[in-house]
Amino acid sequence: MLRDEGYTKYRCHHSPGELPDLDYTPLLQLRDALHAARLIGRYPDGIGYGNVSIRVTDGLVVTATQTGHLPRLEPAQLNHVYRCLPAQNELWCRGALPASSEAMTHYSIYATLPQVQVIAHVHHAHFWEQHLHQLPTTAADVPYGTPAMALAVEQLLRLEATGIFLTAGHAEGVFLYAATLPELQALIGRYFQ
């Protein structure tokens, strides 16, 4: 199967720099647990999938691009997104590595729902096939990591903010979001365990 994923589609203005001074241990533990459950990982063709993020005062901190294959992440494999202009397809970030290819989608969720503090983007073929259009779902012609996806997510969440949505145009993609990390973990447990 040819995948139109695994690379960044937005214009990324990346620079080295420090993350906001926070304890990222709980976020990294969630990410590593999702990797162990194969909800984050890498396909046999080498394309990585899945990521997590947390809202910070001036943006978000998200897992860096091309880290899906790693069983354990360190804070150096996170990235601080401090500005995003989805309509212009531009994103500004700092860290050792550039932000995830889905960082613009994470940004759109945070911008649309101020109560959301944490997001997980996972992949699960069976769940996706079973729940496509049964749960809130973006349109099939909307590609991941684009201004069109950011707009589609904003429109979808204004209609149905249920804590989960699927991406019909991004095979196997599922986004879960919540106000707290324990709430997000409970949501993940509800759908995937």
Q: Which domains does the chain have, with CATH numbers?
A: 11-192 (3.40.225.10)
Would you give the DSSP letter of residue 7? S
pTM of the predicted model, to two decimals? 0.94
Question: What integer pLDDT is reported at residue 29 of this predicted model?
Answer: 98
Residue 176 has which token pair?
């879960």
pLDDT along the chain (193 residues), means of 10: 54 94 97 98 92 97 94 96 94 94 94 98 97 96 88 94 94 97 97 90
Question: What integer pLDDT is reported at residue 1 of this predicted model?
Answer: 33
Question: What integer pLDDT is reported at residue 4 of this predicted model?
Answer: 47
Question: What integer pLDDT is reported at residue 3 of this predicted model?
Answer: 39
Question: What integer pLDDT is reported at residue 153 of this predicted model?
Answer: 95
Q: What is the 3-state secondary structure (H, E, C) of 68-101?
A: CCCCCCCHHHEEEEEEEEHHHCEEEEECCCCECC
